[in-house]
């Protein structure tokens, strides 16, 4: 199994595309496109199946990370309140990107309307042979994301050096 893409609800598509491209360095595959509720196409029928009758339409954009993972942004015509993470509920609560440029990514996150949730932290501060770092941030809409300095395996492997 490979990761293909993640879908993220946003409150303003233009701001979201600007944030994810300029702050985080993703590339546009398909820019802001309107989707309406209809039954004539396979996409229309799929959207009704996913979002339900009366979803009123949405804007969508497709972005991609430098390693080819898709980020699908959705701006619904209705239901646009800021995301608040509720840690008492089950479900996905963040996604993670990898970067060597923590300072630049943090600066750009704030510059483009995001928020820093914590100081940069090392996973293994007691072991200089394991320099993996991480930090939690938010996009302008409250979606929580994490930055890693190393791959997932390097960060957690017990024999990583």
- Express each pLDDT in 84-96 by its tens digit: 778 888 888 999 9
Please tell me which residue, 47 or 110, carries the higher pLDDT value. Answer: 110
Cα–Cα distance measured from residue 114 to residue 97, given in angstroms and rounded to the nearest whole number: 15
Other beta carbons within 10 Å of 128: 8
Strands (E), the chain: 5-9, 27-35, 58-64, 70-76, 95-98, 115-116, 121-122, 133-138, 144-148
Report yes or no: 135 and 106 within 8 Å, Cβ to Cβ: yes
Kindly tell me the burial class for residue 60, based on how many C-beta atoms sit within 10 Å of its own C-beta (0-12, 13-18, 19 or more).
buried
**β-bridge pairing 95-98 and 115-116:** unpaired
Number of domains the chain is built from: 2
pLDDT at 161: 52
pLDDT at 18: 98
Note the pLDDT tens digit of each residue in 5-17. 999 999 999 999 9
Q: Could you tell me the residue range of the domain that residue 34 belongs to?
A: 1-81
Residue 98 shares a structural domain with residue 150: yes
Shared domain check, 114 and 146: yes
Residue among 33, 37, 31 nearest 50 (CA):
37
Q: What average pLDDT does the segment 138-161 reach?
A: 87
pLDDT, averaged across the chain: 90
pLDDT band of residue 158 (cuts 50, 70, 90) is low
87 shares its domain with 77: no
The whole-number pLDDT of residue 149 equals 94
CATH of the domain at 7: 3.10.180.10
Place of tokens 């996913």: 50
Q: Considering 81, 116, 131, which residue would you say is the last residue of a domain?
A: 81
7 and 76 in one domain? yes
Asked whether the predicted pLDDT for residue 160 surpasses 60, the reply is: no
């Amino acid at each position: 199994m490979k990761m293909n893409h993640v879908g993220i609800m946003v409150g303003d598509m233009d701001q979201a595309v600007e944030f994810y491209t300029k702050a985080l360095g993703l590339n546009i595959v398909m820019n802001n496109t309107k989707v309406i509720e209809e039954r004539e196409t396979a996409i229309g029928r799929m959207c009704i199946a996913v979002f339900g009758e009366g979803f009123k339409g949405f804007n969508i954009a497709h972005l991609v990370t430098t390693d080819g993972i898709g980020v699908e942004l959705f701006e619904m015509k209705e239901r646009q309140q800021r995301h608040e993470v509720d840690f008492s509920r089950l479900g996905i609560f963040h996604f993670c990107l990898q970067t060597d440029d923590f300072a630049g990514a943090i600066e750009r996150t704030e510059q483009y309307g995001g928020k820093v949730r914590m100081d940069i932290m090392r996973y293994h501060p007691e072991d200089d042979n394991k320099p993996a770092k991480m930090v939690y941030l938010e996009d302008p809409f409250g979606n929580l994301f994490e930055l890693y300095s190393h791959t997932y395996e390097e960060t957690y492997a017990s024999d990583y050096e």
